[in-house]
Copies of this chain bind each other. A is one copy, B any other.
Amino acid sequence: MYFSGTENTYTFVDIMSNGLSSDVVSTEVQIKEQAKVLFFVRGNMTATCQEIADFAGVKRTLVNYYFRSRENLLRVAYQEIVCDMKRALDEVYISDVSFEDKVERLIGCTMEFRLKYPFFEIFNISEISNKMQNKASIMQPVPSPRLACFIREIEQEMARGTIQPSNPHNFLLNLMSLISYPITLKPLYAEVYGMTDEEYDEVLKERKALIKKILFKKL
């Protein structure tokens, strides 16, 4: 697909190739997927076009050929992950299960994403700093209606006394903090605590059950 001033972010090839189990991926998809890895798995947020191309095993100019600009590639990659995440989370929010099960699913779902793209959250923060400095920003966090519903559920649980009463957002912040932070900063704390990768992973494994306990016991 060649760009001649079109403005839509997703390309035809793009959409078509989603879900294909074929081993042969188009160059376009190849670049995009490898860019996701480079940006959000390896955390090389300032990767140059050359680095992106090298990493995807293609010529530098193909990045521009398929995505018009480095920034647009970043946006496409970012938004695709955001959409995947939103979809998964919303599915949990509206699922017809008990509050406790919902939280459990939420933990699982969030952990999975954090482990898949450990630097994704960092990107959000970098973007936030850009926004705060009135620079161009890709990220547009929008309050989700599903989330609003879930917050009301939290309030009800607090009223029922199954979870520690406080501002319901604090319940969510605790949830997110306890999951994300130790994953994101794994390389830092592994060193500070003098652990190997495997040892740290052991610690992380314990956490899933621990987090549930923390969130649900009335303090």
Interface residues of A (CB under 8 A from B): 2, 4, 42-46, 50, 54, 60, 119, 121-122, 124-126, 128-129, 131-133, 139, 141-144, 147, 164, 166-167, 169-170, 172-174, 176-178, 180-182, 184-185, 187-189, 191-195, 202-203, 206-207, 210, 213-214, 217, 219
Say yes or no: A44 contacts B119, CB within 8 Å. no
Identical subunits present: 4
Q: A125 touching B206 by the CB < 8 A rule?
A: no
Question: Nearest-CB distance from A152 to chain B (Å)?
Answer: 13
Q: Is the interface of A mostly helix, strand, loop or mixed?
A: helix
10 interchain pairs, CB-CB under 8 A: A43-B129, A124-B188, A141-B191, A143-B191, A164-B213, A167-B206, A173-B182, A174-B178, A176-B181, A176-B189
* Chain B residues closer than 8 Å to A132, beta-carbon distance: 42-43, 187
Contact A50 B214 (CB under 8 A): no
Whether B60 contacts A4 by the Cβ 8 Å rule is yes
Select one of B50, B60, B133, B210 contacting A42, CB under 8 A. Answer: B133
Chain B residue at smallest Cβ distance from A3? B50
Nearest chain B CB to A90 CB, angstrom units: 13
- Chain B residue at minimal CB-CB distance from A4: B50
Closest residue to A121 on the B side, CB-wise? B185
- When distances are taken between beta carbons in the complex, the residues of chain B under 8 Å from A128 are 43, 185, 187-188
